[in-house]
Amino acid sequence: MINAGMTPAQPGLVARYGRKVDGKVWPTLLPVLAFDRDGNPMVFDPERRRLELADRVTSQGKFHEVTPDLIGRRVSIIPADGWCWARGQDTGPLVGWALMSTGAVKPMVVDPETNAVVDASQMGVTSIYHRASAW
């Protein structure tokens, strides 16, 4: 919960960490959730299980910077409301539209083999259409 002394962060900002293991630096990204009164970024510390200043989280390695999340994590799912997918003779409803931290919107479907919600491009979907349109 963000208290009165904090400002909620805009979606799409991450704190970048690096942990050195066997001479290699392994990156870790944690979403920035808020800023304190002085403008310092705050993240959820998975080890302490609480909101913490980004530079005090040591479980993820050394804190480097706050940066836009260019990987594109899902921020929200928007209902698909009548949108469908097609791949050859197979068709089905979209689960929703995933709003990504980069601003992109991706169609999401259920993979029939794993029952997991995935990006439609992972299933080879060839077209997206609305069921009310003439197809």
Cβ–Cβ under 8 Å, residues 11 and 20: no
Q: What is the mean pLDDT of residues 54-78?
A: 81
Cβ proximity of 66 and 15 under 8 Å: yes
Within 13 A of 9's CA, how many CA atoms are on the CB side? Answer: 28
pLDDT at 97: 93
pLDDT tier for residue 135 given thresholds of 50, 70 and 90: low
pTM over 0.85: no
pLDDT, residue 94, reads 92
Give per-residue pLDDT as tens, 5-49: 889 888 778 888 988 888 888 888 888 999 999 999 999 998 889
- Tell me what the pLDDT averaged over the chain comes to: 85
Task: Give residue limits of the domains in the chain.
Answer: 7-68, 74-130
Confidence of residue 52 (pLDDT cuts 50, 70, 90): very high
Task: Give the residue among 88, 116, 72, 131 at the shortest CA–CA distance from 108.
Answer: 116
